[in-house]
Structure 1
Amino acid sequence: MCRDYLRPALLIFASSAIGVVGWSGHVLLLPVALAFPVLWSIARTRSVAALVSAGYFLAASRGLPQGVAAFYSSDIWPGLLLWLGASMSFVTVHFVLWTKNPNVRPFRYLLAAIIMSIPPFGVTGWAHPVTAAGVLFPGWGWWGLWLMTAGLAGLATRIWPAVAMTLLGLWLWSAAIWTDPKLPEGWRGVDLEMGASLGREAGLQRQRDLIATVRNPASDGVRYVVLPESALGFWTPTVERLWVGLLRNTDATVMAGAALLDAGGYDNVLVAIDRTGGRILYRERMPVPGSMWQPWRSWFGESGGARADFFANPVVVIGASRAAPLICYEQLIVWPVLQSMFEDPDFVVAVGNGWWTKGTSIIAIQHAAATSWAKLFAKPLVIAFNT
């Protein structure tokens, strides 16, 4: 009887451990998450498979309760509820698709992996093991993605030890020769440490301080400067005129986060500004569910919340280049970056405003995910975050 409980307990403990280690924020540890399909497949019952899934997902997203509490300046309970609620889609998909038939199980896992990559379930598809593709297959592009997908399915078969040894060899070789993605020529990302005031304090002095921050790299010959999400606050004609006026003596172009407000809600955007004017460059495809994207408001005739553009503007043109923008939450899920890569951009731009994640590994995980995707497709990477 004791052994009947020991095996499931060990599987659940192991899945939680790989969630913690794989999603610790170190890019070279992402392949640890590949142990999840093995643990899921060797579960002997559907209920144990569900608990294994829950252990992995909850451990991987462990920073969410603390982050939500900081964001709303509240106690831990709202964060705990959101944490548990978000896990339900991941657990439900893996619970429903688990099967006792070992010959069918790899195809079921492959289907689960696809479902968790695209809306609607992909909206909370964090901690996807396929994110590790850039570590195992740097520069392989779509071939690397297909091989990673085949590897995930192989880890759910009876020959998983042979598949695991092959992937381990690729992991060790990649780690031995690893280099981080390069910056595109003429670009610079500027990290800020302005806390919760960024985007909320919209006074003239704050805008002047930001412009002064931009002038430093611009004076070094940098042509394009990237500021974090929400850096400009609300995007208005007044803000545009101020920036254009103060940039009139430079050749620099600034890409910065802002919010575009109207009667129905707002768009979380990236704008491009130079001495000739400003324009909306990118509208976020997937804002953070719950805190930003609140589709239920429209069901009750209410307004507010950020709009999700889902599959819009995967690539934007700035200067002579084509960039794949990823704002904050989009770095944690799968479909936005893959949709962008279908358009073969010149480089990736990853921005965020993570002041609320202090004390967690969320920003480090975002960095690791963006780095892995950029390495997979051999794209330069620009990163700009506020903490």
Structure 2
Amino acid sequence: MRRDLLPTAVLAIAAILAGWLGWSGDLLLLPASCAFALIWSKAQNRLAVLIVSAGYFLTASRGLLHGVQHFYSTDVWSGLIFWLAASVSFVLVHLAAWSKRQAWRPLGFLVAMLLMVIPPFGITGWAHPLTASGVLFPGWGWWGLAAMTAGLMGLATRMGPAVAVALAGFWLWSAAIWTDPKVPLPWRGVELEMGSSLGRDASLGRQRDLIATVHSAASQGASLIVLPESALGFWTPTLSTLWRESLQGSAVTVIAGAAALDPAGYDNVLLMIDGGGSDILYRARMPVPVSMWRPWGPWFGEQGGARAHFFSNPVVEVGGRRVAPLICYEQLLVWPVLQSMLAGADIIVAVGNGWWTAGSSIVEIQRANMIAWASLFGTPLVISFNS
């Protein structure tokens, strides 16, 4: 047993480094996460698999520890419980997929990858190495995703080090020629710095400030203007009238985050507003678990949580474009963006309200993820965040 301790310790340190670098929020470091496949395959027993899987995921998701404390204004223990609970799916899936037989490990890693993409395990499928596809293979589309899948499986074979060298070559070449996806005209993603007050300040003054921000963007040539998640708060007929009147006589269309209430709960939505009125454009497929989406609530007599529309509305039509909307938490997962691309999306619109992540790299990771996916498919990208 003691002879296994040193190799396991080395693998654990390597997994922590892969999680730390790959999910630092630096886009061009995303491929460091691919090292996890090689590290996982080198584990000699299930205890080592558990340690390296936990080390990688907990390090990659380290921002959650601070974010939960900030969001709930609570002590470190609440953040720690959330952080550990979030890792359970990832660790158990990779533990179950590992085999004592080296020859079976590539297939096991493929199974683990697939399980961590789709619900239910995909609900906490953060830190997925497939996200690095867009950095290693920009513009390759589905072929790039296939190449990344094959590469990760190759890392789990005896030829893993040779595969790592090949992937490193793609990494270096991509970094040398890298360009970010373009924001298409006439779109404009508005970045706000309103902290926790965004969506919570229900005053008329706040709405007028946002309207003024929209008109300012329009004066610079934008006609499709995107505001962050929850920007408009709880959507009401009064607000609808205010915004409609403010946009009358202009060619401006606003895409903005809000909450659509009904007696059973609410939807985290994107609204489309112009001088003719407003409509719900998109309902979030995966709201943030626990803080928003609580499917167990009715069992305890709780009402009012956000609904998850898992596989609904993957694309929406805006200005003649097929748009892939992604709200906040959806940007950390794999299946929402892939479902949207399968549905023929030709532009990605990503919004978030990241005030609670201050002091962590969560928003930077979300941005990096969106840029990577947009680069993989050669798709224009519009981002709008509040911090």
Question: Is the TM value for this pair above 0.5?
Answer: yes
Indicate yes or no: 2:347 matched with 1:334. Answer: no
In 1, Cα distance between equivalents of 2:349 and 2:15: 32
TM-score, normalised relative to structure 2: 0.99
Q: Which residue of 1 aligns with 2:191?
A: 191
For residue 163 of structure 2, give the secondary structure of its aligned residue in structure 1: helix
Quick one: distance in 1 between partners of 2:362 and 2:259? 22
Matches within 5 A, 1:16-55: 16-55=16-55
The offset of 1:160, in angstroms, is 0.7
- Matched with 1:347 is 347
Partner of 2:309: 309
> Is contact 1:218–1:250 with CA below 8 Å preserved after alignment?
no
CA contact 1:227–1:255 (8 Å) conserved in 2 = yes
Corresponding letter in the other structure for 1:379: T
Aligned to 1:359: 359
* Mapping 1:4-83, distance limit 5 Å: 4-83=4-83
Whether 1:161 and 2:167 are equivalent positions in the alignment is no
1:294 aligns with 2:299: no
1:1-44 Cα offsets, whole Å, 9 max, x none, are: 75431111111111011101100001110000000010100000
2:254 counterpart SS class: strand
Counterpart Cα distance in 1 of 2:3 and 2:300 = 52
Give the Cα separation in 2 of the matches to 1:306 and 1:316. Answer: 20
Q: Distance in 2 between matches of 1:86 and 1:51?
A: 15
- Structure 2 residue 235 is matched with structure 1 residue 235: yes
5+ residue gaps, structure 2: none
Query: Aligned with 1:103: secondary structure?
Result: helix
Inter-partner Cα distance in structure 1 for 2:109 and 2:90: 12
What is the CA distance between 1:162 and its match in structure 2? Answer: 1.5
**What stretches of structure 1 move > 4 A for 4+ residues in a row?**
none
Q: SS state of the match for residue 217, structure 1? A: helix
Q: Aligned partner of 2:18: which letter?
A: I
Question: Deviation string for 1:156-186 (max 9, x for gaps)?
Answer: 0001112111111111110000000000120
| Residue 300 of structure 1, CA deviation | 2.8
Check conservation: 1:25, 1:364, Cα contact below 8 A: yes
SS of match in other structure, 1:279: strand
Describe the superposition over 1:188-229 as per-residue Cα deviations: whole angstroms up to 9, x where unpaired: 000000000000001100000000000011112211000000
Aligned CA RMSD, in angstroms, stands at 0.9
Question: SS state of the match for residue 104, structure 1?
Answer: helix
Q: Contact 1:22 / 1:32 at 8 angstroms: preserved in 2?
A: yes
Q: Aligned residue for 1:250?
A: 250
AA partner of residue 49 (structure 2): A
Q: Name the CA distance, whole Å, in 2 between partners of 1:346 and 1:381.
A: 9
**Alignment of structure 1 residues 59-208 onto 2, 5 Å:** 59-208=59-208
Q: What does residue 277 of structure 2 align with?
A: 277
**Which secondary structure state, in structure 2, belongs to the residue aligned with residue 268 of structure 1?**
strand
For residue 248 of structure 2, what is the amino acid of its counterpart? Answer: R
Q: For 2:221 and 2:127, how far apart are their aligned partners in 1?
A: 38
Unaligned stretches of 5+ residues in structure 1: none
Give secondary structure in 2 for the equivalent of 1:107. helix
Query: In structure 1, what residue type is equivalent to 2:295?
Result: P
The alpha carbon displacement at 1:343 in A equals 1.4
1-side partners of 2:263 and 2:38: how far apart?
Answer: 49
How far apart, in 2, do the equivalents of 1:103 and 1:18 lie? Answer: 24
- Comparing 119-128 with 213-222, greater Cα deviation is found at 213-222
Give the letter aligned to residue 100 of structure 1. Answer: K
Q: How far does residue 273 in structure 1 lie from its aligned partner after superposition?
A: 0.4
- Displacement after TM superposition at 1:298 (Å): 1.8
Tell whether 2:326 aligns with 1:322. Answer: no
Measured after TM superposition, the shift of residue 64 of structure 1 is 0.3
